[in-house]
Structure 1
Amino acid sequence: MKSIHFLHGEEAPIVRSREFPEPSMRINPKNHPKLSCLAQILLLLAFWQAGEAIVRLAHLPIPGAIAGMLLVLVLFTSGKVKLASMKRGAEWFLAEMLLFFVPAVLALLDHGEFIGIIGLKVLTVIFAGTIIVMGVTAIAIDFGYRLMMRQGASSHVQH
């Protein structure tokens, strides 16, 4: 920073010149882990709502949550979204998953009709659905692992 000297009309440096950094509105997630986790949970909820909107607009016969997960998968594979941008939020959901199932169990106790043959049918569907979800998840993880290994091998060849 310079000033113009009044007597000689020349530029002269200000003796006590100090540069001040521009104020930043960014929040460092390392200093605010709870705020970062909340932001990541909100981001996951935004993807869920985006999936719901896509399903409604396109009249797709799939749940909106699945469309949201596919959207996240596309963004992950394209590199537009990094895993770190959602890791804490996803870990919170996984850690607190039991809270999402307890209300369903309590509702089951309120309805005695689910204790008989209807309950057995529902349990069969739940058990079969769980096995199918676990199988599809294993296949998806295996596919992703093979894709990562293939990309890792091709990146070593390029260098």
Structure 2
Amino acid sequence: MHRSRLLHFSRLAVELVVLLGLYVLGCKLAVVFGVPIPGGVIGLGLLLAAFATGWVKPAALQLGAGLLMAEMLLFFIPALMSLLDYGALLRQDGWRILLVIGASTLLVMLATALTVEAVCRWRMRHEH
């Protein structure tokens, strides 16, 4: 039992290091090339490219990604706590803020869906 927990922890650590490495590489590429795209987005693009080319199987990073997804709320707590300081702003312009958040969320979902669809079609064409 102790050995299996050690293997589980070491696999989790390796997966998190790979995901963090892709993020850091994306940040470095953004700085080197001077593109106005966040390094995290570039890192996700690199991860998508690794998945699409078959260099990395999604199951190989499932444990680390699952941990990050499970703890995602921790990344949003500072932003939520800062809302307490801006109650007057929310009462005055809250509907505009919600409109922007809703519209941007829909645009991101649409862009993601179109990208996934395009990659799936590209992959289907190149597999045959």
For the superposition of Structure 1 and Structure 2, which TM-score range results when normalised by the shorter chain? 0.7 to 0.9
Amino acid at match of 1:95: A
Structure 1 residues 46 and 114: CA distance shift in structure 2, 3 A: farther
Residues 78-110 of structure 1, C-alpha deviations (whole Å, 9 max, x = no match): 333232332211122222222222221111112
Aligned to 1:140: 115
Among 52, 56, 75, the alignment partner of 2:50 is: 75
Inter-partner Cα distance in structure 2 for 1:133 and 1:30: 38
Inter-partner Cα distance in structure 2 for 1:143 and 1:30: 40
Residues 15-46 of structure 1, C-alpha deviations (whole Å, 9 max, x = no match): xxxxxxxxxxxxx9896122211221121111
CA contact (8 A) 2:50 2:56 kept: yes
Q: How many residues align?
A: 126
Q: 1:80 is paired with a residue of what secondary structure?
A: coil
Amino acid at match of 2:23: W
The gaps in structure 1 that reach 5 residues or longer are: 1-27, 155-159
The gaps in structure 2 that reach 5 residues or longer are: none
Among 1, 10, 14, the alignment partner of 1:39 is: 14
Identity %: 34
CA contact (8 A) 1:52 1:64 kept: yes
Aligned to 2:72: 97
TM-score by length of 2: 0.81
Inter-partner Cα distance in structure 2 for 1:87 and 1:151: 26
Q: Look at both structures and tell me which one has the larger radius of gyration over its CA atoms.
A: 1
Would you identify which runs of 4 or more consecutive aligned residues in structure 1 move more than 4 Å? 28-31
Structure 1 residues 52 and 29: CA distance shift in structure 2, 3 A: farther
Q: 1:32 is paired with a residue of what secondary structure?
A: helix
Inter-partner Cα distance in structure 1 for 2:4 and 2:106: 37
Structure 1 residues 45 and 114: CA distance shift in structure 2, 3 A: farther
Deviation at 1:70, TM superposition (A): 1.4
Aligned to 2:102: 127
TM-score by length of 1: 0.67
Deviation at 1:144, TM superposition (A): 2.8
Cα-Cα RMSD: 2.4
CA contact (8 A) 1:108 1:114 kept: no
Deviation at 1:142, TM superposition (A): 1.8
Whether 1:87 aligns to 2:62 is yes
Looking at secondary structure, tell me which structure has more helix per residue.
Answer: 2
Aligned to 2:24: 49
Structure 1 residues 151 and 60: CA distance shift in structure 2, 3 A: same
